[in-house]
Amino acid sequence: MGELGNAKILGGVGALLGLVGLGFIGFILKLLAVKKISEATGNDEIFQKYLYAAILGIVSSLILFVAVMLPAMRGRAMDVVGMGVVGVVGIVLLIAAVLFMKISYDLIAKETGVGMFHTVALLYIIGAVLMVVMIGALVLFIAIILEVVAFFSLPDEVPGRGEASPAI
C-alpha cells in the first residue's frame, strides 16, 4: 500500500463512522488520516490547520453543551441574554473551526489532486453558517457523505512522487 493508502482507509472509515453515530471514533480516525496525508506530502500545514480546527471544534462543542445543559441541570432556564451570548460564542468558534478545516482540506486537494476536498470544505462552511437556521444539519450531512467519497478517492501515492518508471 502506498504513502496515502492508509490515510485513504483511515479517513474513509472515519467519515463513515461519523455517519452512523460513532463520531468520536470517526473523528480520531480522520485526525490520523490527515496526519498521514500531511507526512506523505511533506506539508505540515495540512495537519496543523486540521489540528486547530479539531481543538476549536471541541471547545465550541463544550461551550454549546454547557449552554444547553447548565440551565437544565439547575432546573431553571438560563436568562435569554446569557444563553444567547454563550450560543453565539459557541457558533463563532464552530465557524472558526470549519474555516481552519477548509484551509486543511484545500491543501489536501492541492497536494493530492482530489478536488472533492474543496467541495467538502465549502459544504462544511455553508452547513456551519446555516446551523443558525437549522438547515445546516442537512448540508453537513451531505458534506460528510462527500467526505467519505473524497477520502476513498485519494490516490495510493502522492501525485508526482510515486515510483519512477523504469527506463527503456
Distance of CA 159 to the CA centre of its chain: 23
Tens of pLDDT, residues 12-55: 999 999 999 898 999 999 999 999 999 999 999 999 999 999 99
Q: Say whether pLDDT at 132 is over 90.
A: no
Q: Say whether pLDDT at 95 is over 70.
A: yes
165 contacts: CB under 8 Å, gap ≥ 6: none
Q: Which of 13, 12, 93, 26 is nearest to 53 (CA)?
A: 93
Answer with the residue of higher pLDDT: 112 or 68. Answer: 112
Q: If you ran DSSP here, which 8-state letter would residue 22 be given?
A: -
State the pLDDT at residue 162.
54
**Residue 1 — pLDDT band, cuts 50, 70, 90?**
low
State the pLDDT at residue 65.
84
**Residue 81 — pLDDT band, cuts 50, 70, 90?**
low
Say if CB 111 and CB 98 are below 8 A apart: no
| Neighbour tally for 23: CB within 10 Å | 14
State the pLDDT at residue 164.
47
CA dihedral 18, 59, 86, 69 (to 10 degrees): 60
Q: Say whether pLDDT at 128 is over 70.
A: yes
Answer with the residue of higher pLDDT: 85 or 118. Answer: 118
Residue ranges covered by each domain of the chain: 5-152
